Amino acid sequence: MTRPDASGPARDGSARAAVDAAFRSDWGQIVATLIRVTGDWDLAEEATQDAFAQAIARWPVDGVPRKPGAWLTATARNRAIDRLRRDKVGAAKLQELAREPHQEESAEPPDLLRLMFTCCHPALALDAQVALTLRTLAGLSVPEIARAFLVSEAALAKRLVRAKSKIQHAGIPYRVPPAHLLPERTPAVLAVLYLLFSEGYAATAGDELVRRPLLAEAIRLARLLCALMPDEPEASGLLALMLLTDSRSSARIADGVVVPLEEQDRSRWDAVAIAEGVGILDAALRRGRPGPYQVQAAIAACHATAATAADTDWRQIATLYGTLRELNPSAVVALNQAVAVGMAYGPAAGLALVDRISGLTGYPLLSATRADLLRRLGRRSEAADAYREAISRATTEPERRYLAGRLAEVS
């Protein structure tokens, strides 16, 4: 198991790197396994944490084990057994732990998938689902999650305690739901992963515009979900959407300001991520069961595969937004459709759609879009009014500056 030949300070660094890599790849798996065998979420997390602490202490001395994940799982399991031995009510659970190796050979669904569905159980509030997913599946610490979602550590800790207590006391089953519940439960899992991604991609508040760790975790968990649910095209659609959107990350911000899609330096887009996203999306679409994530990924693919902004296939995008509206009717989707139609068939066609949107009064992008279409139609005074309204509703300084520039053009 150990590498007795490893020696010197370099070994310390590589052992540390191995612990970090194992943390990223194995944390959720180990917690998931221990929850299944002990039924105790806190014990599972603590034992897993102990195992990583031991790895940090031992790997630099003993060397990195050949199978770090197996070493960590065994160590975590032993820690759990130690803790249960000290505890009288643990006796029954101990027997289960002893039986455990036989269960691994059965055709049970993977522990990680159970953990994902349980964390995203619809009887838990959405914020609890998110917090629990990040803590239990991704191994993020309470301060890290609290920072990511701008809540106090105390509030977040309370949210986690409440969620775990409800899982235990309300009888939320630790399992992948049966087939008849899957269609209604899978969207919750996808929604939580997409929320993590969106929060990482365009932080709703705070100093940083992009939160890399959240983005990376969301993509990693989506990859995992695709591997666990290969027959679910919407899981693939979501992963493709994330990859295609994230491919623009490095071109999206310049000097701390968001660069609009059409002005981005496309040579800085991640070609590997785009190719992978398009490939995953194509495979998903071939299953013939389209859904909102696949359609959104298809729209992202239209943008990502256009060599220049002028090459963008706006007709295709307008059609896709029409499909998305059928699947998922919302005023924001209608607005995006109007923008695409305005690009594909001219500003008058776009404006006709914008003027039919209801329920978005006060939404900053509505007046900005109207203003832009009116400007392109040469209706300068109406455009100026719309720009003024958009400026009064804009939420960030860069947006306000951009709109003020446009206003100066038309007045």
Partner 1 sequence: MKYVLLICADEAVGAEHAQDGCGGWDTEMAARGVLYGGAGLRPPADATTIRVRDGETLLTDGPFAETREQMGGFCLIDCADLDEAIEIASKHPAATYGSIEVRPLIP
Residue 393 C-beta-side C-alpha neighbours within 13 Å = 16
Cβ nearer to partner 1, comparing 121 with 252: 121
Q: Which is closer to partner 1, CB of 172 or CB of 240?
A: 172
First-last CA distance in the chain: 75
The residues of the shown chain that bind partner 1, judged by CB under 8 A, are 121, 123, 169-173, 177, 181
21/125 with CB nearer partner 1: 125
Q: Name the residue among 110, 100, 92, 79 with its Cα closest to residue 37.
A: 100
CB of 164 to partner 1, least distance (A): 14
Distance CA 250, CA 264 (A): 10
Helix (H, G, I), strand (E, B) or coil at 253: strand
Could you tell me the smallest distance in angstroms from the CB atom of residue 200 to partner 1? 31
3-class secondary structure, 257: strand
- Of 178, 160, 183, residue with least CA distance to 114: 178
φ and ψ of 257, to 5 deg: -115, 140
- Which CB sits closer to partner 1, 173 or 346? 173
Q: Give min distance, CB of 178 to partner 1, in A.
A: 8
Q: How far apart are CA 63 and CA 60, in angstroms?
A: 6
Q: Residue 172 or residue 196: which is nearer to partner 1 going by CB?
A: 172
In angstroms, give the least distance from the CB of 167 to partner 1: 9
Question: CB-wise, 59 or 117, nearer to partner 1?
Answer: 117
Closest CA to 237 of 286, 164, 201, 200: 286
> What count of Cα atoms within 13 Å lies in the side-chain half-sphere of residue 270?
16
| Identity of the residue, 117 or 269, whose beta carbon is nearer to partner 1 in the bound complex | 117
Q: How far is the CB of 171 from partner 1 (least distance, A)?
A: 4
Contact predicate 350/341, CB 8 Å? yes
Task: Report the nearest approach of partner 1 to the CB of residue 125 (Å).
Answer: 15
To partner 1, the closest distance from the beta carbon of 121 in angstroms equals 8
Host H or E run for residue 258: strand 257-258
